[in-house]
Amino acid sequence: MVGRPTSKPAGAIRADHIPGPAVKRLSLYLRELENHLRAGSQTVSSRKLGTALGLTDAQVRKDLAYFGQFGHSGIGYDVVELAARIRRILGTDHPWNVVLVGAGHLGTALAAYRGFSRKGFKLVAVFDNDARKLGQKLPGLEHVPVVGMDQIAAIVREHTVHLAIIAVPAAAAQDVADRLIAAGVRGLLNFAPVALNCPETTAVSAVDMAVQLEQLSFQLGRAGRPPRGSPKKR
Amino acid sequence: MVGRPTSKPAGAIRADHIPGPAVKRLSLYLRELENHLRAGSQTVSSRKLGTALGLTDAQVRKDLAYFGQFGHSGIGYDVVELAARIRRILGTDHPWNVVLVGAGHLGTALAAYRGFSRKGFKLVAVFDNDARKLGQKLPGLEHVPVVGMDQIAAIVREHTVHLAIIAVPAAAAQDVADRLIAAGVRGLLNFAPVALNCPETTAVSAVDMAVQLEQLSFQLGRAGRPPRGSPKKR
DNA sequence: TAATGTGAACTTCTTCACAGCC
DNA sequence: GGCTGTGAAGAAGTTCACATTA
């Protein structure tokens, strides 16, 4: 336990520890701001941002206040300014180099997704073990080579890659993760349906499509009726 | 304020309200159990399950206890039994019909993912507006037709579809969601990078790959160094 | 001994409510 | 009037620690 007295170094970054959920929402605020930008609005209120995302206005203000004072009383938030500030906070005001491992169906689809580069993530290489895929260019990605997994260490180092996306079968994911981390990658986005065992110093984020569907199944099962059967009152 | 006395209707399903995070973890427990099954273990302890997923043993027990008493003192949990029970709770002990909207890169990749059917989700149709894609069969999905979006209402009703996956561009997502809901779909898994506006009665789950990467970027930015620039000590 | 199930303590997160500002 | 920023209150979720059971 730290026992640190709650002294505020006013002027610097706000809080010692930011609530995890707040950071997640920050990304959503940014996405919403980018939409507002396209629509041409100059300013947004916490209420507008909130209702667009299903949150209360107080929640929005509190989240933003963790990082500083971005708003203007009576006016709201300047869309352009707030977007820039959030990018700064998230660390996407400068580009990140990213590699993708796995050029199967999913990997290919992810590589083709334009949203990544728009958000400041630059795909520098795709790795796969299938000899037939090596040397190919993926559709729309003429500058991104598909290379063998034995190149992971070399390319990660050469391009100072800190982030990697794992889109390989579950059975291969842990091995791939180990190799990436050994090569210097420090953040993993894992699409394989398996829990990765990584050192504390590695940030891991996971997406499992089946898990997502199961959540929906659960929610429907409660408030409504299952696909069939189950005698129900009424 | 409600002031309801905390009376327990002992015997029925446990809690009036299950913590959302607990339900999310339930899916992960199931995934882990399925792995243990393949490995041949008869039983698991809350500790084993927990460490595999980066959770405490108490957390695991508390989560499971929301739904009943599944464990055996001194022994642990029976792998087969617990998996079956969790499937029951999640509602995946019986199959769900699912449709996918959007047969682009991502949609095609999602359709090809074998994990869905393995988990009890049956893809009955893929919708797209691109005339060139209609009538095609997606790779590995000979029984799943690609049809026009004007067929949404008919097919959703005919097959009693309750779940849909949205994999269309952001600009089209809200319209697609509206149509699906009007046709009777009650749960949406949204891959478009936009917040959907849906009635309370619709369950929505969202996956935004860019958001995931931004979370990683934030985490690295704190504990480590940004990709380049920024005068650093050393 | 090895493990569960659970009240109580604790921690984290969210909402309320209002002072202050435009 | 409209809106932010924030302390304080409240709700939600997690961990502790121990009685209990095999």
**Does the CB of B33 sit below 7 A from strand C?**
no
Q: What is the CATH number of domain A20-90?
A: 1.10.10.10
Q: Which of A33-42, A69-78, B55-64, B133-142 comes out lowest in average pLDDT?
A: B133-142
**Stated pTM of the model:** 0.90
Mean pLDDT of B143-159: 95
Report whether pLDDT(A232) > 50: no
Report whether pLDDT(A228) > 50: no
Task: Considering only CA atoms, name the residue closest to the C1' of nucleotide C21.
Answer: A73
**Per-residue pLDDT, A29:** 98
**Per-residue pLDDT, A4:** 36
User: Each residue of A46-84: pLDDT tens digit?
Assistant: 999 999 999 999 999 999 999 999 999 999 999 999 999
User: Each residue of B6-20: pLDDT tens digit?
Assistant: 333 333 455 678 999
**Per-residue pLDDT, B225:** 42
Query: Does B23 contact A215 at a Cβ distance shorter than 8 Å?
Result: yes
User: Each residue of B174-216: pLDDT tens digit?
Assistant: 999 999 999 999 999 999 999 999 999 999 999 999 999 999 9
Q: What is the mean pLDDT of chain B?
A: 89
B-contacting residues in A 167-196 (Cβ below 8 Å): 186-189, 193-195
Residue type, A134: L
Cβ contacts of B108 within 8 Å, gap of 6 or more: A105, A109, B138, B139
**Per-residue pLDDT, A171:** 96
pLDDT band for position B142 (cuts 50, 70, 90): confident
Q: What is the mean pLDDT of chain A?
A: 89
Q: What are phi and psi for residue B124, nearest 5 degrees?
A: -105, -20
Question: What is the rounded CA–CA span in Å between residue A49 and residue B118?
Answer: 39
Task: Considering only CA atoms, name the residue closest to the C1' of nucleotide D6.
Answer: A62
Please, which positions of strand C sit below 7 A from a protein CB? Answer: 1-7, 11-17, 20-22
Please, which positions of strand D sit below 7 A from a protein CB? Answer: 1-7, 11-17, 20-22
Are the CB atoms for A23 and B215 separated by under 8 Å? yes
Question: What is the rounded CA–CA span in Å between residue A15 and residue A43?
Answer: 26
Helix (H, G, I), strand (E, B) or coil at A50: helix
pLDDT band for position B140 (cuts 50, 70, 90): confident
Spacing of C-alpha B123 from chain mean position: 15
User: Each residue of B66-118: pLDDT tens digit?
Assistant: 999 999 999 999 999 999 999 999 999 999 999 999 999 999 999 999 999 99
User: Each residue of A92-124: pLDDT tens digit?
Assistant: 999 999 999 999 999 999 999 999 999 999 999
Question: What is the rounded CA–CA span in Å between residue A55 and residue A65?
Answer: 16
Sequence-ordered strand ranges (E) for chain B: 43-44, 71-72, 76-78, 96-101, 121-127, 146-147, 163-166, 187-190, 203-206
- Domain residue ranges of chain B, discontinuous segments joined by +: 20-90, 96-211
User: Each residue of A170-227: pLDDT tens digit?
Assistant: 999 999 999 999 999 999 999 999 999 999 999 999 999 999 999 999 999 854 444 3
Q: Which of A28-42, B19-33, B80-94, B219-233 comes out lowest in average pLDDT?
A: B219-233
Report whether pLDDT(B230) > 70: no
**Per-residue pLDDT, A14:** 60
Report whether pLDDT(B231) > 50: no
At CA A152, angle to CA A150 and CA A155, rounded to 5?
120
Interface check for B15 against chain A (CB to CB < 8 A): the answer is: no
* Domain B96-211: CATH superfamily, name plus number: NAD(P)-binding Rossmann-like Domain (3.40.50.720)
pLDDT band for position B226 (cuts 50, 70, 90): very low
